[in-house]
Chains A and B, each alone.
Chain A
Amino acid sequence: MIKIIETVVSVSEFYIRKLKPIYMEYTAIRNERTQLLNYLWEFQDKNGYISTSDIRKLSKELGISWIEIEGVISFYHFFRRKPTGKYTVYLNNGMVSEIKGFQKIKEAFEKETGAIFGETDPTGTFSLFETSCIGLSDQEPAALINFMPFVNLTPKKVKEIVSHLKKGGDVAEIKDEVKDYVRYKNDKGESVLFREYKEGDSILKLVKKQPQEVIQEIKDSGLTGRGGAFFPTGLKWEFARHSQSMQKYVICNADEGEPGTFKDRVLLNQMPGLVLEGMITAGYAIGATKGFIYLRAEYRFLKKKVEDTIKHFYNIGLLGENILGKNFDFDISVVMGAGAYVCGEETSLIESMEGKRGGPRTKVYFPVERGFLDKPTLVNNVETLCVAARVMEFGSEVFSKKGIEDSQGTKLLSISGDCKKPGIYEIEWGMTIEEMLDLCGADDVNYIQFNGFAGTIRTKDDLHHIISGVEMGNKYNPYIRGGGSVMIFNSKRDVFDILTNFSNFFIAESCGLCTPCRAGNYLIGKRLEKIKNGEATYEEIEEIKSWGKVLRDTSRCGLGKTSTNFIVEAIDKFPELFKEKGLKEKSFDLSAALNDYYDYVKNN
């Protein structure tokens, strides 16, 4: 029997007892609504789900309607409205997981636990769910059990895990230590990020400079947004600095949801201090006193480490009031996401931090003008902030002298899939795809997905392409923008399986706010299924390109705009595959359409 423990304390008591510590950390914010996600997490963790009575209580306390809270809960896929088992398993169903044996692991979990995916077993012990990429692509198949990582799963390992848990064992006892495979960095010892971390060094240099000088240094370095949008960081900081407001915020975007990307996980695990120093640098430069790390729920296992580092920074005077005696105050706290890819988009992230559904805002203002709680807000990626700290520490040339003329610096690539050495590669711009494949030990390459599912495709014909931070060049000297993730698939992988997996991801992760992304991705998914089954005409295949254009032109945010790149490019990159699948004339399977009828009349 499932034992449901109802919370018996009143919500106000509950807040005081359980939530006060969190609440105190947000001293700068007296807006309770922003706490909604934290409250929901408290309920979710305590009972394994959020009950109707929890919602009623919250509704009364916060003065927002019940339906609004339901709306927020149903947006995030880690929040549950039905009781879950003692152990919740979230198994990654991304494409890299699929090629590493997802299906077998899924079956093993179902067999061992007696539950089926999407549900809880009859004893109320295990709940199994699939989830989008959890940032462990270098050690797939991977799952989160009670948000603790389990990697390189095999059916045997699943059996052992489940039997341990069935005996009432502790998840923490058997969880895996996630390894950070930093496979490549500049061999002359000139790595930007992976050199020795000396605590506080960048801050010591920082406080000797005027904020405007800091911004100039960042500009000189040529640093651009490492999340993949490549917006010039110095310029963004300058906009934020010039926004007039008593209160400004710095947000570190650690919602690394792009499938195949795991560099931020490695940075947060290896050098949480460097991330904090980057945030302090940004805060100092733009005149903000409050910083947040928006950590994706999938990385909850890193939360303690990050928070411990924050505490340590307070203790040694790198955070808090009057940092290093320079009359500069800065606070940092961690905010947890709850499972939504779109929250990596900066305005969605801000909406989520305000305790709302994480839908992208209409871009009337940039976040640097009006962001979190309508105050100027600087949102930067983890890697961007780390590089910024390094630039402070070693000067702009540490970055600007690297790379190629048109594109300066280095970039972390998260490489996964069919290669011998999946992991993090800090490459200098200017490397060719071929060199990269040599480094990671990929000899059979058919399909390379750059920059996540929303990125771009390269094939074995494109090995001479130069990886850089710009999109330009010509036929003889083509550049490819290397946003972060590289997924390699060999010739044994069915391209249509890959495309279907990507399509399913966008259908699951579209927030639903705008028509083209919500309906368009779903319609494209249906069409892709038809193509895969060999039921579409060649015209219908080509038609997808024009559908893709509609999504690109009219979607509300980057998710929708880029969500059809993969399929549109695939049609051009693999023409012979699609030609094989496409029909010359419309065909209609009459007998399949009559099946329901015959089944029924036969049985009656």
Chain B
Amino acid sequence: MNDLGTLPDWAGLAPALALVGTALLLFLYDMIEPDSQNNLLLAGIAGIGSLTALGFAGWFLLAGTGQPDRGGAIELFDGQLVVDAMALFFMAIFASVTLLVVVASYDYLAGRANQAAYYSLVMLAATGMAVMATADSFVTAFISLELASLPSYALVASLKQNQGSVEAGLKYFLVGALSSAIFVYGISLIYVETGVLQFGEVATALASGELSGVVGLGILFIIGGFAFKTASVPFHFWAPEAYEGAPAPISAFLSSASKAAGFVLAFRVFLTALPRGSVEGTLDWVIAFQVLAIVTMTVANFAALRQEKVKRMLAYSSVGHAGFVLIALGALTSEANRSFVLGSGMAHLLVYGFMNTGAFLVIALTEHWGIGREIEDFNGLATQAPFACAALTVFLFSLAGLPLGGGFLSKFYLLLAAIDGEVALLAIALVVNSAVSVFYYTRVVKAMWVEEPADDLAIEGYPSGLYVAITFAVVLTVLLLPGFGFVLEFTSTAAETVVPG
């Protein structure tokens, strides 16, 4: 059977368990000492919790848990959950992003109310994401999706006194509720046809019968649900609002971890439950994702060009990156080396996790200093905070795909994936949009380094938590350029677990 040594099977869920345990511990602490302002203790608990989760995920990955040569994927609860290389890889992404967000929140939250609730909601959302990575049935998929989403709504609105934050939370919630309904409706349509919910069984049932048009409709609705979660066009409207209104660390959390969670579930659903071969003749989701990818990239990048606020620009850039990752699904044509294509999408999500989180954390830093939101407000910031500005420059250029960080290589791999799948339009859209993106990222860089500072530009203090998190993110972003091969080893094993061969 599987190989966890002397440990029982359920120990494979250790990363998720560490996260949920931490969340409960924080609730407990909040009960004993309500409204605690002991920021250090709260952030410390949350930080250690996510570090533990990261440790478990990393250990299992390195030990080869759930991989074919160590007994294969661990199935739990009658196949409702599955722990394999892909699940562990994404749990590692979520845990690292959560860690960065928690460390950064230490300064951001100083002096604010409801800190324990904030941290426990972050941990709960992270738990939801970790379970999304392991979900192997439509039931667990939907429950974990909601577990990740509900705390997120509250987190976006967590600056209760701030109208923008509350408004953003409400919008996010309304769009989220609608798309959850769409998603679950899609699941029900698949259930009507197959009568089962477990992914593997769904695939078998679909493969064995004549399919009615209901399946195609179901697939379309499920795609809609994922488009919301990954903030892809046309369900992206919530993203700029939510990211702008939310506290910046939460924007980082949502745009990096939550997006990756949506993608891991999409990978799993479309490759194990609705494989292209079994649903032939209903709706070819590969083509649907091609369209979605091109539209998402193009709309988002051109919208980003017109933004005057840094956070909104980053929000649109994050939508654009969803479009880039969608290439990994859109290029899964019959010509493609499928595990390579999927692996390049995963690698991009990992690199993106660090560079995008880092960029939002620098925004959190500027919010901490009370610097305005417009690009102009960043004028001459480098004279005051050269390190933070250098870090943001690295993040932005890496996002743009210039060789300052891993983003250059991961985008390049996506390009190769598009070419490998022989979808020329995807490759062209990727290149054109990358070229366009250089322009709007450069605007921020230019403001920081080139423009003269306004007379009243002054910053107070250099918050240690935020700086630690930013340093960590920037070091990883840069190291992922020479060390990209290390990531590829994991992504290729992870991809092979869902698309063998």
Do A and B come together as binding partners?
A: no
